[in-house]
């Protein structure tokens, strides 16, 4: 079960925080979208996604050769509220980054 210290350690990494905020804003994103917005390589994003998956924060689904991620609906309410509060602070930046960097491959 996700504990507060675990959530804060995970979100203390700027890339993982950005990924969670992107998923909070978009609902679901392909890994190529996440790479485009964060300007990180696919292997690096995959390592971050593994951490988020292991913590139970995200779920994935495969569609052809693409993997799509979304926040898990099973996140504890306190963690979801924390993510939503952070998203309210960052949403304008997240929305702007999404507008500039959407992948057209998938």
* Residue 65 resides in a domain: yes
Number of domains present in the structure of the chain: 1
* Residue 45 resides in a domain: yes
Contact 103, 30 (CB under 8 A): yes
pLDDT in tens, 16-37: 999 999 999 999 999 999 999 9
Per-residue pLDDT averaged across 85-91, rounded? Answer: 97
**Helical ranges in 27-104 per DSSP H:** 31-38, 42-54, 77-100
pLDDT-derived band at 102 (thresholds 50, 70, 90) equals low
Whole-model pTM: value is 0.93
* Residue 24 resides in a domain: yes
Residue 101 has pLDDT above 90, yes or no: no
Domain carrying residue 76: 4-97
């Amino acid at each position: 079960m996700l504990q507060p210290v675990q959530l804060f350690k995970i979100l203390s990494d700027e890339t993982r925080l950005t990924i969670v905020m992107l998923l909070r804003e978009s609902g679901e994103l392909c890994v190529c979208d996440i790479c485009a917005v964060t300007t990180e390589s696919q292997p690096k994003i995959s390592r971050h996604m593994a951490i988020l998956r292991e913590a139970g924060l995200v779920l994935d689904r495969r569609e052809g050769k693409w993997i799509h991620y979304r926040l898990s609906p099973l996140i504890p309410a306190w963690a979801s509220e924390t993510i939503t509060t952070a998203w309210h602070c960052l949403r304008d930046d997240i929305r702007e980054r999404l507008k500039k960097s959407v992948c057209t491959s998938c």
